[in-house]
Each structure stands twice: as C-alpha cells, then as structure tokens.
Amino acid sequence: MKKTITLFILLFALPVLKAQVTTDEFKLRLTQADSIHLVSHEGNVDALTGKSLPPFIKGDGTIDVTTIKESITIGKGSALKLFGVLTADWGNAIEPASCFTPYHALLIYKNGICSYIDICLGCHTYAVSADLKGLKILIDRDSWKGLYTFLKQRDFHYQMPAEGKEGY
C-alpha cells in the first residue's frame, strides 16, 4: 500500500510541481526570447459606452493584435531591467483589488510562440499564459510602482493611472 501511495505521488504530484515557472526560468526566457514587446491594449469594456469589446487574449490563448494601442520592442538590457522590476521584493506587501481590467501586457516570443503577462495597473493583478503558470512577480507595492515608472519612461500613455492615483 505504501509503495502505491509513493508511486501515485511520483506520477501525479511531481509533474504538477514542475509546471510552476520559477523566476530563474522566467529570466532565462527573457534572455533567450526572439523578441519582447511591451504593449498597451483595449480593455474588454469600452470605458465611455460600457459596451463589450473583443478580448485582447482570445479564447484559444492567442493575441488579438487589432486591440493594441501602443507597442515597443525592448532589447535584452531593458528586458533584464524589467525582470528586476517585476521580481523585486521590497517587503511592502500589497492587497490586490479585483477589478481586473488589464490594459498592458508583456509579450515574449520564442520560435513563433507567444507567452504573455496581461497586467492591470488599476487593481495590481495580472494573468499569465499557460506556459508561465505559477510565476510570482509584482509581489509588493514598490514593484508595481517600478513597473509604472518603467512604462512611463518609455512614453506609455494609454490607460495609465494618473500620478497619485492607485498608489502611483
């Protein structure tokens, strides 16, 4: 019986544990990516009319590029700086809200496959593509401020919270 339980754990629990992306694996993906893009995109609801808009991330997990409003390609140096911002832990815990209306994303392309982090600066939450499942980033208030500053320094304007709002 004990051998059966051990075999069950090895067969089922270990693959689940391995499915979690570590920060080191994320850094490797950034440094080995074919291209990395920061984008701002339409949300799922028109802010003026309240009407539903096409989602940025379609049901099949692909990106709807027609929703992109601003985009820049970043090089390896900027990618490493962004990695430092995203993974910093200043011990300044944050309680995320729950609006989740993302307008910004990090797109990482490798061999024609796109990994993404879809980011809501308003409620300090994010969603990741299946291949980045378990990634732990933006864990405190200062890392969110760092991301906000990183985007502002690169001249992002679309749906950026105003200075002094939402902790920025």
pLDDT for 58-94, tens place per residue?
Answer: 888 889 999 999 999 999 999 999 999 999 887 777 7
130 against 16, higher pLDDT:
130
Q: What share of the chain in percent tops pLDDT 90?
A: 60
Asked which of 55-59, 129-133, 158-162 is least confident by mean pLDDT, the reply is 55-59
* pLDDT given at position 19: 61
DSSP secondary-structure letter at 12? I
Handedness of CA 29, 31, 33, 39 (dihedral sign): positive
Domain boundary assignment for the chain: 20-153
pLDDT tens digits along 88-115: 887 777 777 778 889 999 999 999 999 9
Q: Span 142-164, mean pLDDT?
A: 93
Considering 3-17, 93-107, 152-166, the range whose residues carry the highest mean pLDDT is 152-166
Give the predicted TM-score (pTM) of the model. Answer: 0.81
Q: Which CATH architecture has domain 20-153?
A: 2-Layer Sandwich (3.30)
Q: 10: how many CB neighbours lie within 10 A of its CB?
A: 10
Residue 118 burial class via C-beta count within 10 angstroms: exposed 0-12, middle 13-18, buried 19 and up? buried
* pLDDT given at position 46: 67
Residue 161 has pLDDT above 70, yes or no: yes
